Amino acid sequence: MSLKAFHILFVAVCVVMCLAVGAWGTREYLAASNVTGLGLAVACFVLGAGLIVYGFKVYKKLAELG
Amino acid sequence: MQIPYTIEERPDTGLYNAKLGIWLFLASEVMLFGALFSSYVLLRTGDPGFMTMSHDVAEALHLEGHAHRWSDVLSVPLAFVNTLVLIFSSVTIVMSWASLRLKDFGKFRLWMGLTILCALGFMGIKAIEYSSKFSHHLYPETSNFLGVYFTLTGLHALHVIGGLIVLAYLWGPGSKMWKSQPQRFVNRVETVGLYWHFVDLVWIFLFPTLYLL
């Protein structure tokens, strides 16, 4: 596997983890009014969305490299 | 006699020597970290008191509330910042490799330099975290959870230090190879990039496992 492919895989795993941690933070906030959990959830959802956009852009860029 | 496939890929495997070597090494690393993760899961599921902190310890640490877990002593915000730093460093190392593929050595130095700064930043934050634990007399022998925490994060930090040394070498003296054997140098950067991604991936799993769950 090349660095290109591993990087795309890495970004995909990060997105999944961001969504999972975001869901955990949301649950923490709803169950125990944990403000840290809410902050973490918001940060993770934003990061996940950013990584999805980045993932598509970098996939195109790296494909151009050959 | 010249060693074959140091630059070009071997037709049957589709890999050059260094890439085959790093994947074999990473396979052994998966087994190492996999064994430690499995130990943690077995300890946690097998011992009902694994995560429970006694009332006296919680009081000494000035923790509020009633039920306390050992993971409450870990700093989630610091660990999250470290996660961001490592994700960004994965981006910068790919950019440094892509810059070399585009024959832009100046940009390679810039992106690789940023990767090194990220690694240093990660270690700095880790040092703050560790010193905070030590100042509260929280050591690996304090509890089984902290033993696992220091083992896993310490081993990961050692991997970051190892990567940092290689990154610094490729940024500094090792970059002379760009003039004599450019393709081999690109391959070296790709190889260290694969290692760095693995180290980052380990942290991506460590963060929620130790700090959140």
For residue B180, what are the CA distances in angstroms to B15, B105, B183? Answer: 22, 13, 9
DSSP string computed for chain B? -PPTTSSSPPTTT---HHHHHHHHHHHHHHHHHHHHHHHHHHHHHH-TTSSBPPHHHHHHTT--SS--BGGGGS-HHHHHHHHHHHHHHHHHHHHHHHHHHTT-HHHHHHHHHHHHHHHHHHHHHHHHHHHHHHHTT--TTT-HHHHHHHHHHHHHHHHHHHHHHHHHHHHTGGGGHHHH-HHHHHHHHHHHHHHHHHHHHHHHHHIIIIII-
Say which residue, B28 or B66, is predicted with more confidence. Answer: B28
Q: Tell me the nearest-neighbour CA distance from A3 into chain B, angstroms.
A: 6
- Which pLDDT score is estimated for B6? 87
* Domain membership flag for residue B10: no
- Which pLDDT score is estimated for A18? 96
The answer to whether B166 and B192 have CB atoms below 8 angstroms apart is yes
The domain of B179 spans: 17-212
* pLDDT band (50, 70, 90) for residue B27: very high
* Domain membership flag for residue B86: yes
Q: Is the pLDDT of residue B66 over 90?
A: no
**Percent of chain B, pLDDT > 70?**
99
**Percent of chain A, pLDDT > 90?**
82
Of B6-20, B24-38, B193-207, the poorest mean pLDDT is in: B6-20
* Domain membership flag for residue B8: no
Select from B108, B135, B131, B127 the least CA-distant residue to B192.
B108
Q: What's the whole-number mean pLDDT along residues B164-191?
A: 97
Burial class (CB in 10 A: 0-12, 13-18, 19+), A53: exposed
Enumerate residues 7 to 66 of chain A having a beta carbon within 8 A of any beta carbon in chain B: 7, 10, 13-14, 17, 20-21, 24, 36, 40, 43, 47, 51, 54, 58, 61-62, 65
Residues of B in contact with A2 (CB under 8 A): 190
Instruction: Tell me the backbone φ, ψ of residue B150, rounded to 5 degrees.
Output: -70, -35
H or E element: which one contains A45? helix A35-65
- The strand pairing partners of B69, in sequence order, are B52
* Domain membership flag for residue B118: yes
* pLDDT band (50, 70, 90) for residue B115: very high
CA dist., res. A15 & res. B110, Å (int): 26
- Which pLDDT score is estimated for B65? 67
Q: Is the pLDDT of residue B211 over 90?
A: yes
* Domain membership flag for residue B12: no
The answer to whether B208 and A17 have CB atoms below 8 angstroms apart is yes
Each domain of chain A, given as residue ranges in start order, spans 3-65
Q: Is the pLDDT of residue B54 over 90?
A: no
- Which pLDDT score is estimated for B1? 79
Q: What's the whole-number mean pLDDT along residues B105-120?
A: 98
Q: Is the pLDDT of residue B58 over 90?
A: no
Q: What's the whole-number mean pLDDT along residues B7-25?
A: 93
Say which residue, B101 or B60, is predicted with more confidence. Answer: B101
Q: Is the pLDDT of residue B204 over 80?
A: yes
HSE-CB of A64 using CA atoms within 13 angstroms: 8
B119-176 pLDDT, tens digit per residue, is 999 999 999 999 999 999 999 999 999 999 999 999 999 999 999 999 999 999 999 9
* Domain membership flag for residue B80: yes
Residue A32 carries which DSSP code? H
CB contact under 8 A, A62 and B94: yes
Q: Is the pLDDT of residue B16 over 90?
A: yes
Q: What is the mean pLDDT of chain B?
A: 94
- Which pLDDT score is estimated for B63? 76
CATH code for position B201:
1.20.120.80
Instruction: Evaluate the CA torsion angle B198, B184, B100, B121 in order and state its sign.
Output: positive
Q: Is the pLDDT of residue A54 over 90?
A: yes
Q: Tell me the nearest-neighbour CA distance from A46 into chain B, angstroms.
A: 12
- Which pLDDT score is estimated for B163? 98
* Domain membership flag for residue B36: yes
Enumerate residues 88 to 147 of chain B having a beta carbon within 8 A of any beta carbon in chain A: 90-91, 94, 97-98, 101-102
CA dist., res. A46 & res. A36, Å (int): 15
Q: What's the whole-number mean pLDDT along residues A5-30?
A: 95
How many structural domains is chain B composed of? 1
* pLDDT band (50, 70, 90) for residue B207: very high
